[in-house]
């Protein structure tokens, strides 16, 4: 193998590139990125970067000389327009092409579009890129009114960041509770209390009629009951869509993401995919699905690099995620979908507790609020398919290490 091409310039791309060079690959590596920036971290966009606490340069994974020193050819400000799997060639705009022996598609995801009247008004934003954040920040002077549509992690993180820089924030959520798709009612209630205590207005079960404006610029969000929420800016956070079109147009199998096996290989043996854009085996849960996380991007980048070079498959970790809001660090281990019991360890009102999700007494996920030890141990326990007595998990007179050591599966 002499030539590897990578489409995308995010976490999965840099993970694969670093892994390839560390494994001794000496051939050509060409990275194609639509933005003018080299690969950079996305999670801080809705947190420290939005608050102006870090400069853009601190988000870059590697300094510019690293790419030169490691012979990485960066094709930035360049869009991949098609993949010819027979010729093993990627067409690019501006006009050109890049040949490959192996290809990694790491195109990530894009924000789901709001389809309401007024969605095309100025100062209606999404939050996916450095450029998005620059536009949002330029419209949010202290005392401005921001309406956030959607109460997922991105929406709530942005609400927290905006509040901390003096912006008046209202969060509008269609579902009955915040974070409804990803966590339990206990965690939802905890975050609603936290945000309201910080001055954020949260409306759930809300129905938006339209966005209203003047002279082409948004001025408010009108609810179905006629209420108009004043808005100098609107941030839309209603989910993401995997960027799978390049793959599907090339005849590669897709199903709410580019379908890959455990080695991140697609239905074309010379094409791999990694990150938000993939539909992958979830080996710890005996099913398949899509993961939107840093962990997933890092892991699949490594899996793809190993498979390209014929190296042993790296270990597949328990899925993990995190969210920073105010002084709250939420660390999530595992996937809680399908749980039949929940155990709370600690006092929810203290801001230091953990929610353990069990299915038939087996630990499948943990939400740890300012509780790093519970998070770290949970990753190992979930991987080990550990069985617990719920009462033992809730017993704070015993350390979590002691409880873990006495569970039926134990730790390796």
Scan for tokens 């000496």, then name that residue. 26
Tens-place pLDDT, residues 380-405 = 999 999 998 899 899 999 988 888 88
Give the pLDDT score at 411. Answer: 45
Between vectors from CA 308 to CA 307 and to CA 309, what angle results, nearest 5°? 90
Q: What is the pLDDT of residues 253-266, one digit of tens each?
A: 999 999 999 999 99
Coil vs helix vs strand at 329: strand
State the pLDDT confidence band at 1, using cuts at 50, 70 and 90: confident
> Into which CATH architecture does domain 327-405 fall?
2-Layer Sandwich (3.30)
Q: Which is more confidently placed, 148 or 402? A: 148
Percent of the chain with pLDDT over 90: 94
Q: Which two tokens stand for residue 51?
A: 């608050």
Q: What is the pLDDT of residue 408?
A: 67
Q: Where are the domains of the chain?
A: 3-110+241-308, 113-236, 327-405
Q: Tell me, yes or no, if the two domains 113-236 and 327-405 fold the same way.
A: no
pLDDT at 94 (0 to 100) = 81
Q: What's the pLDDT at 405?
A: 85
pLDDT score, position 409: 55
282 strand-pairing partners: 287
Question: pLDDT at position 250, please?
Answer: 98
DSSP state letter for 338: T
- The per-residue pLDDT of the chain, averaged, comes to 95
What's the mean pLDDT in 76-99? 96
State the average pLDDT over residues 347-371: 96
Is CATH 3.90.226.10 what the domain over 113-236 is classified as, yes or no?
Answer: no
Q: What is the pLDDT of residues 331-343, one digit of tens each?
A: 999 999 999 999 9
β partners of residue 369? 330, 353
> What mean pLDDT do residues 183-187 have?
97
Q: What is the pLDDT of residue 404?
A: 86
Short-list 94, 90, 70, CA closest to 82: 90
Does residue 147 carry a pLDDT above 60?
yes
Longest dimension (CA), the chain: 66
DSSP-derived pairing of the beta strands 102-105 and 3-7: parallel
Structural fold of domain 3-110+241-308? FAD/NAD(P)-binding domain (3.50.50)
Higher pLDDT, 1 or 135: 135
- Contact call for residues 374 and 345 (beta carbons, < 8 A): yes
Task: State pLDDT tens for residues 264-299.
Answer: 999 999 999 999 999 999 999 999 999 999 999 999
């Amino acid at each position: 193998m002499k030539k590897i091409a990578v489409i995308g310039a995010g976490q999965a791309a840099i993970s694969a590139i670093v892994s390839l060079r560390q494994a001794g690959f000496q051939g050509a590596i060409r990275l194609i990125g639509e933005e003018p920036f080299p690969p950079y971290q996305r999670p801080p966009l809705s947190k420290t970067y939005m608050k102006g606490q870090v400069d853009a340069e601190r988000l870059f994974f590697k300094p510019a000389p690293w790419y030169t020193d490691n012979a990485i050819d960066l094709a930035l400000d360049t869009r991949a327009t098609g993949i010819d799997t027979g010729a093993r060639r990627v067409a690019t705009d501006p006009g050109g092409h890049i040949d490959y022996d192996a290809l990694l598609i790491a195109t990530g995801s894009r924000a789901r579009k709001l389809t309401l009247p007024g969605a095309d008004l100025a100062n209606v934003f999404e939050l996916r890129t450095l450029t998005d954040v620059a536009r949002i920040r330029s419209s949010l002077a202290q005392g401005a009114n921001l309406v956030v549509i959607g109460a997922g992690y991105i929406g709530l993180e942005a609400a927290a960041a905006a509040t901390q820089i003096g912006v008046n924030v209202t969060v509008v959520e269609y579902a009955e509770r915040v974070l409804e798709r990803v966590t339990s009612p206990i965690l939802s209630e905890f975050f609603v209390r936290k945000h309201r205590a910080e001055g954020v207005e949260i409306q759930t079960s809300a129905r938006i009629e339209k966005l209203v404006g003047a002279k082409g610029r948004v001025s408010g969000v009108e609810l179905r009951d006629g209420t108009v929420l004043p808005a100098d800016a609107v941030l839309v956070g209603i989910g993401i869509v995997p960027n799978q079109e390049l793959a599907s147009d090339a005849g590669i199998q897709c199903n709410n993401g580019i379908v890959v096996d455990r080695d991140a290989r697609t239905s074309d043996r010379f094409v791999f995919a990694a990150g938000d854009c993939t539909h992958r085996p979830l080996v710890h849960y005996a099913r398949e699905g899509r993961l939107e996380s840093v962990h997933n991007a890092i892991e699949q980048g490594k899996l793809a690099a190993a498979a390209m070079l014929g190296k042993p498959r790296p270990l597949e970790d328990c899925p993990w995620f995190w969210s920073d809001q105010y002084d709250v660090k939420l660390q999530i281990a595992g996937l809680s979908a399908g749980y039949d019991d929940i155990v709370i360890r600690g006092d929810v009102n203290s801001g230091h507790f953990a929610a353990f999700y069990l299915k038939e007494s087996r630990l499948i996920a943990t939400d740890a609020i300012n509780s790093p030890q519970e998070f770290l141990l949970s990753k190992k326990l979930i991987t080990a398919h550990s069985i617990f007595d719920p009462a033992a998990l809730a017993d704070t007179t015993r350390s979590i290490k002691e409880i873990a050591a006495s569970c039926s599966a134990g730790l390796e």
